[in-house]
Amino acid sequence: MAKVPRLAAGRARALGVPTRGTTNPNRLRRVDRWLVGTPSVQSVLDSPTPLVVDLGYGATPVTTVELAARLRTVRPDVHVLGVEIDPERVAAAKPFEDPPLLEFRRGGFELAGARPVLLRAFNVLRQYTEPEAWQSWSTMISRLAPGGLLVEGTCDEIGRRCTWVLLDADGPRTFTLASLPATIERPSDLAERLPKTLIHRNIPGEPVYDLLRALDARWATAAPFVPFGPRARWVETVRLLAADGWPVLDTRRRWRLGEITLPWSSVAPAGT
């Protein structure tokens, strides 16, 4: 079982600040489904001692409890540690502990000394500035176990519109948009849920702006698919984008879930 090191008493400085604790049951189901179904994530969970950290779980630890249950379907002995900077939220989570498989601890971007193979940080960076968000990425990836992965993203209150970035120790690798297509008028509706490192870049001249406009244009072209339902229209939208040379990484099986994943280089802010 993974052993989670503790920072020495008196040296434990949690990096970051408490923010609003909004969360909801099942809010993070889309990213969890993607994590469980993504080969690179499955491989990191193959570690002999798989430790996963959920950073910033909010007012209740419900999404951490759900993450643990979902990961157990692919790795029954996975150890999940919820880390939260607000001490009252850590105290509120204690009754949900199931040691050693599920634990909660106070900490910040330094991860309370843990070295996870997988780190999920969802809806944590919204209230930080963009420079702080970039800095937090550096801090968090520096704390990963060798070969470890960070998934950092944002979604609406009920998890129907989500975006996230997968990073390894070298930086961002992929970018994913995921939604329930029945709830969008057009793909660029997801712009309001972009990660902090991209949300200010949805402006002309920036790659993420071009991607969202390109998706909107294919969504319009895919209008003849409306009678087959919004999911079929989304699949056709992504197929058209890929056919036009965009480096779409995933396959039709994932598009049917309302997803699209591209290399980070497709959206990396101009000049980075």
Ligand X SMILES: C[S@@+](CC[C@H](N)C(=O)[O-])C[C@H]1O[C@@H](n2cnc3c(N)ncnc32)[C@H](O)[C@@H]1O
Site for ligand X, rule CB under 6 A: 15-23, 27-28, 55-58, 63, 83-86, 89, 108-109, 122-124
Nearer to ligand X, 47 or 64 (CB): 64
CB of 13 to ligand X, least distance (A): 11
Cβ proximity to ligand X: between 79 and 105 the closer is 105
Minimum gap (Å) between residue 23 Cβ and ligand X: 3
Residue number, 165 or 222, with CB nearest to ligand X: 165
**CB closer to ligand X out of 122 and 219:** 122
Q: Cβ(141)–Cβ(164) under 8 Å?
A: no
Taking the complex as a whole, the smallest distance from the CB of residue 255 to ligand X amounts, in Å, to 24
CB of 164 to ligand X, least distance (A): 11
Q: For ligand X, which is the closer residue by CB, 160 or 218?
A: 160
Least separation in angstroms between CB 146 and ligand X = 23
